[in-house]
Amino acid sequence: MSMNAVRANIAIIGAGLGGLTAALALQRAGLRPLVLEQAPVLGDVGAGISVTPNASKALISLGLHDGLEQHGQAVPVQEVREGATGRLLKSIDRSDVRERYGAAYYMVHRADLHAMMVAAVRANDPDAILTGQKLASLAMAADGVEMTFDNGTQRRADVLVAADGSRSLVRSQVFGADKAEFTGHVAWRFLVPAGAAPAEALAPGSRVWTGQDRSFVRYAVRGGQLINCVGLTRTGLWRGEGWSQMVSAAEMRPEFEGFMPEVMQLIAAAPGGRVNSWGLFVRPMAESFVQGPVVLLGDAAHPMLPFMGQGAAMAIEDGVVLGRCFAVSANPAEAMARYQAVRLERCRFVLEESALGADRIQQDGADNKRLARNEDSLGIFDYDPATVAI
């Protein structure tokens, strides 16, 4: 711990990627945070996830380079193609991404990344994560936060880090509830074993097919054993929030009717004929990430739409910056003020660009100007949360 580092009792609500990043970064700062997770057992759900160079730099700064190399696949190329004809609209060579941005662009199974981070946190402190801790209520105290959990447990912390997602209980109780609005977009997600996938889907890199009000992406994870597939559609269909909802793949097929055979074959190969499907809802970014001893992180602060694949990356960036701020500050208030000053503008910018991403990608035709406004041209990958001035 540095001479100026904060000495504080810190609780983190949520053991997702953002909460675990914050835990690792705070541990690096010499602190001993406690992560409180509502699930009875750890095991992140999900499928593939993009770890873009800005997020890779954050994770590497926490000592996770070897894990990323083991579990992730570097992306050699990204393609955008017309859904109906397969015509190539844009190809992005990623072979030089390490040299350009200082870290690789990985595709990884979310559960593998989560398990790697859990292991790293527990290697530092075997008692750092408690499961079965569903927050019921909290109250501000003169010297911190008093928390009550569904199991009757009560806990106190000097600082509470809310990493509990877009439907954050902490945010609603401390900062006020914000209404969620359905965007009209529905997400579809599934994993296809490589042996059941069409041969074209085994090609390296990622491929996006685009058409009016719909897009579909596929890429390999787990060393090519699984093909991660995600569809996004703007449709009259209404669906509630939540990744765990399963529906018949027969509901998905009409949404992509007329797309290339590779897309339709992947949908047909969805295991058990079932896919995850959920509605995309928008909530405003918090006007402030800090209130008293409470600080918001990840989707609790700035819930992102998925059209630039930056939701997890922003939470990971948040966690690294928060830990660095605590490492150089004299007290929690200073650390959280530094964190907010660093993160507000960055998060607002990426959130706004992500919201505009649907209109850029989900169109017919070859208007390359719309595809030119991307993570590279916007400088999103240049950001390094491990070195940004705090």
pLDDT bin (cut points 50, 70, 90) of residue 4 is low
Tokens of 205: 């890199």
* 41 or 324, which is more confident: 324
3-state secondary structure of 131: coil
Whole-Å CA distances, 373 to 101, 239, 253, 360: 18, 29, 30, 8
Reading the block at residue 65, the tokens are 């380079």
The answer to whether residue 367 scores a pLDDT higher than 70 is: no
**Per-residue pLDDT tens over the stretch 267-291:** 999 999 999 999 999 999 999 999 9
pLDDT tens digits along 297-324: 999 999 999 999 999 999 999 999 999 9
Annotate 198-218 with b (16+ C-beta within 10 A) or e (fewer): beebeeebbbbbbbebbbbbb
Query: Which pair of structure tokens corresponds to residue 364?
Result: 């017919």
Can you give the pLDDT at residue 3?
43
Neighbouring CB atoms inside 10 A of 263's CB total 26
Cα–Cα distance measured from residue 388 to residue 318, given in angstroms and rounded to the nearest whole number: 12
pLDDT of residue 5: 61
Looking at residue 319, its pLDDT comes to 98
Q: Among this protein's residues, is 106 annotated catalytic? A: no
Domains contained in the chain, CATH given: 10-66+105-179+284-356 (3.50.50.60), 181-282 (3.30.9.30)
Mean pLDDT of 167-183: 91
Widest pairwise Cα distance in the chain? 64
Residues 207-222 pLDDT 10s:
999 999 999 999 999 9
pLDDT of residue 368: 59
Across the range 257-271, mean pLDDT stands at 97
- Counting beta carbons within 10 angstroms of the beta carbon of residue 56, is it exposed (0 to 12), middle (13 to 18) or buried (19 or more)? buried
**pTM of this prediction?**
0.94
What does the pLDDT read at residue 2?
45
Q: Which of 101, 219, 339, 383 is catalytic?
A: 219
